[in-house]
Structure 1
Amino acid sequence: MDKTGYLILRLAIGLSMFGHGLVRLPKLSGFSKWMVKSFEGSMLPEIIVTPFSYALPVLELCVGLLLLIGLFTRQAILLGALIMLMLIFGTTLIENWAILPSQLIHVAFFVVLLNYVKDNTWALDLKLGK
């Protein structure tokens, strides 16, 4: 993969994660209530869903921002992939099969970025020696 292609992929997944977090933060309480309600019939107890629902938008925003500026890129990729794996697990528990492809695509983006992280040349990581 060339450096420009890597940058485009990093920015694309960064914008997706950043945007998810950005739109959810102003309505965090409502988002949390929606997520808790979505998991009412699942195996996951509310005591697990509630803190995750509050942390998710913050994590999405932070991962997205780090990817957009190219800072701690490898760590942001790994955290983003972990977030998506948790979302995939939750999605399967509530049998929301319609959203699963989008989550799998996000994971694929993270895997590609991780495998070609050496091409991450347009990033703050290089400027700061990370």
Structure 2
Amino acid sequence: MKTSTPKQTAYALLRITMGVNFFAHGLVRIPKLNGFRNWMVNTFENSLLPNWSVYAWGSILPFVELAIGILLIVGYKTYQTTIAGALVIITLILGSCLIENWDWAATQMLYSIFFYFLISNIEQNYFALDHIKIRV
């Protein structure tokens, strides 16, 4: 039986932490989806983005966050999921920059660093469903 390394343990804890963060974002937004979506439309009303695109993004973002969060927590399709998470962050950074909210953009840059670490160290992903072999 292979034993884990401290790097594998640290990777799992960071992956799960990012998963809990994304999961919680989606979890708290879904029950108040209309309010969240309306807040987004109002926040971006003076941006270059058309209202319909902000409305659509505000409608799906909580579900995307929830799904990415669940997949990160359990470590399923981790490589693909971390890329999806990074793409969400890129989209959020673009939105933050378009409304000149540099504080949001700075915080989102921290998320991008965490996703960089998770993606570039995927070989450390030991404690994950990705490694469970199911035999039928």
- TM over 0.5, yes or no? yes
1:84 and 2:89 matched: yes
Q: Deviations over 1:59-101 (max 9, x none)?
A: 0000010000000101110000000000000000011112122
SS in 1 for 2:127: coil
| Identity of matched residues, % | 42
The CA deviation at 1:128 is 4.2
The whole-number CA distance in structure 2 between the counterparts of 1:29 and 1:120 is 37
SS in 2 for 1:2: helix
1:95 and 2:100 matched: yes
Q: Deviations over 1:33-64 (max 9, x none)?
A: 00000000000001111110011000000001
The structure 1 segments of at least 4 consecutive aligned residues displaced by more than 2 Å after TM superposition are: none
Q: How many residues align?
A: 129
Match for residue 106 of structure 1 among 92, 111, 136: 111
1:123 and 2:128 matched: yes
Q: CA RMSD in A?
A: 1.2
The whole-number CA distance in structure 2 between the counterparts of 1:68 and 1:4 is 13
1:3 and 2:8 matched: yes
For 1:66, the aligned partner's letter is: L
The whole-number CA distance in structure 2 between the counterparts of 1:22 and 1:31 is 12
Match for residue 42 of structure 1 among 14, 27, 47: 47
The whole-number CA distance in structure 2 between the counterparts of 1:102 and 1:70 is 24
Q: TM-score w.r.t. structure 1 length?
A: 0.96
For 2:42, the aligned partner's letter is: K
The CA deviation at 1:8 is 1.1
Q: List gaps (5 residues or longer) in structure 1.
A: none
For 1:70, the aligned partner's letter is: G
| Larger CA Rg, structure 1 vs 2 | 2
